[in-house]
């Protein structure tokens, strides 16, 4: 435990401070007229997240042993949660006793802004963070530049996952539709509108490319701090990337484990087909509005082809080329 943890009392953000901060911040409706995104520190966030993010930035104290999954929504963070949880706990729970059989991955790897500092306080409240055993498995969708200082300066490790923007957007469209249904929204979300917003950078925790590129650069500069993963790579060669994850977190698979097919068992257990079929992932909601099953939809590479018109493909391909030029980063768009 970090020796300062217990001294770090939960600060309160007053309504006045919040209102004065909000004044002057760009604000746009997104997905429906009741949902506002505001631009704070160059990042588009739901209006209700402003207080939480300030709390995280002021209050959260990372431990050197923390393992934090990061990534923009719908890039495979739930999958990475299942994998990381199973890899870290493999010596404690055999696969047939894995707590993921009874808990949704979101319930075992807490998201800072939704689960811990969110209004619902669905899981441990912030003060319970100090009681979590090490290594704590946490997640955040925050861009690198918005992370609290203690995450950036401690030796905690970040596992970033990204996905090609076309499939990310397709997945986001379905997720947003499911959310709107659960909030009884009367409005019909149009894919074209979500696409236009996305291309203009207006997406949750966007701009998308800035989010990805910043973590990409950090992973190149500090490979022991940031592991950069791609959804499509994990699909293509899960064994290779599971080994990378295990090495990165300092828990490499032993030759004995390899000979016992432990890696293959983890891949199979956390596979889309297996996770989607678990009873625990089929019904119920998370954080009030998100159906557990909506985190397991198709799990494919290239599904965007059913949604993007040729002009949309042209526009986003051009944008991608512009943004990624000179970065050495590229995305696989089809299986």
Q: Is 272 in the site for ligand A3P (CB under 6 A)?
A: yes
Phi, psi for 45 (deg, rounded to 5): -130, 155
Q: Is 76 in the site for ligand A3P (CB under 6 A)?
A: yes
Instruction: Report the phi/psi class of residue 40: left, alpha or beta, with left for phi > 0 and alpha for psi in -120 to 50.
Output: beta
For 35, residues 6+ apart whose C-beta sits below 8 A from its C-beta are 29, 46
For 241, residues 6+ apart whose C-beta sits below 8 A from its C-beta are 229, 233, 234
Instruction: Give yes or no: 141 in active site.
Output: yes
Give me the least distance between CB of 83 and ligand A3P, in Å please.
Answer: 8
Residue span binding ligand A3P (CB under 6 A) among the ranges 26-34, 77-85, 147-155, 260-268 = 77-85
CA nearest neighbour of 233 among 63, 39, 79, 24? 79
Q: Is 77 in the site for ligand A3P (CB under 6 A)?
A: yes
Sign of CA dihedral 254, 258, 264, 269: negative
Tallying the residues shown for the chain, one arrives at 335
Candidate list 100, 270, 312, 329; residue touching ligand A3P; CB under 6 A: 270
Candidate list 108, 162, 275, 316; residue touching ligand A3P; CB under 6 A: 275
Candidate list 297, 315, 323, 332; residue touching ligand A3P; CB under 6 A: 297
Candidate list 75, 86, 114, 164; residue touching ligand A3P; CB under 6 A: 75
Residues numbered 303 to 322 that lie near ligand A3P (CB under 6 A) are: 303
Q: Is 208 in the site for ligand A3P (CB under 6 A)?
A: no
The 10 Å CB-count burial string (b at 16+, else e) for 1-25 is: ebeeeeebeeeeeeeeeeeeeeeee
List beta partners, residue 140: 70
Between CA 47 and CA 166 the distance in angstroms is 25
Give me the least distance between CB of 141 and ligand A3P, in Å please.
Answer: 9
Interface mask (CB under 6 A) for ligand A3P, residues 169-198, using x and -?
Answer: --x--x------------------------
Name the active-site residue from 141, 174, 211, 240.
Answer: 141
Active-site residues, by number, are: 141
Contact residues for ligand A3P (CB under 6 A)? 73-79, 82, 167, 171, 174, 270-272, 275, 295-299, 303
């Amino acid at each position: 435990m970090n020796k300062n943890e217990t001294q770090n009392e939960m600060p309160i953000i007053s309504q006045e401070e919040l209102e004065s901060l909000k004044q002057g911040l760009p604000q746009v409706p997104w997905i429906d007229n009741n949902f506002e995104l505001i631009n704070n520190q160059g990042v588009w966030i739901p209006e209700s997240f402003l207080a939480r993010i300030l709390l995280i930035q002021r209050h959260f104290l990372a431990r050197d042993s923390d393992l934090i999954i990061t990534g923009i929504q719908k890039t495979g963070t739930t999958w990475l949660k299942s994998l990381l949880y199973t890899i870290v706990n493999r010596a404690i729970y055999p696969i047939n006793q894995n707590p993921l059989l009874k808990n949704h991955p979101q319930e075992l790897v807490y998201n800072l802004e939704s689960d811990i500092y969110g209004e619902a306080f669905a899981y441990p409240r912030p003060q319970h963070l100090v009681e979590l055993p090490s290594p704590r498995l946490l997640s955040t969708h925050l861009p690198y530049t918005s992370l609290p200082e203690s995450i950036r300066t401690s030796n905690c490790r970040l596992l970033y996952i990204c996905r090609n923007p076309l499939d990310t957007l397709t997945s986001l469209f379905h997720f947003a539709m499911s959310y709107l249904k659960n909030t009884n929204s009367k409005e019909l979300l149009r894919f074209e509108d979500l696409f236009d917003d996305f291309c203009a950078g207006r997406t949750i925790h966007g701009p998308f490319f800035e989010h990805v590129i910043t973590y990409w650069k950090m992973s190149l500069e500090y490979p022991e701090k940031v592991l950069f993963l791609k959804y499509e790579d994990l699909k293509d060669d899960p064994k290779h990337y599971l080994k990378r994850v295990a090495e990165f977190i300092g828990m490499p698979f032993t030759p004995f484990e390899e000979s016992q097919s432990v890696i293959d068992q983890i891949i199979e257990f956390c596979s889309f087909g297996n996770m989607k079929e678990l009873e625990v992932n089929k019904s119920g909601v998370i954080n009030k509005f998100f159906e557990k099953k909506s985190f397991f939809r198709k799990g494919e590479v290239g599904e965007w082809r059913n949604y993007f018109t040729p002009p949309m493909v042209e526009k986003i391909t051009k944008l991608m080329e512009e943004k990624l030029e000179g970065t050495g980063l590229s995305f696989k768009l089809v299986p």
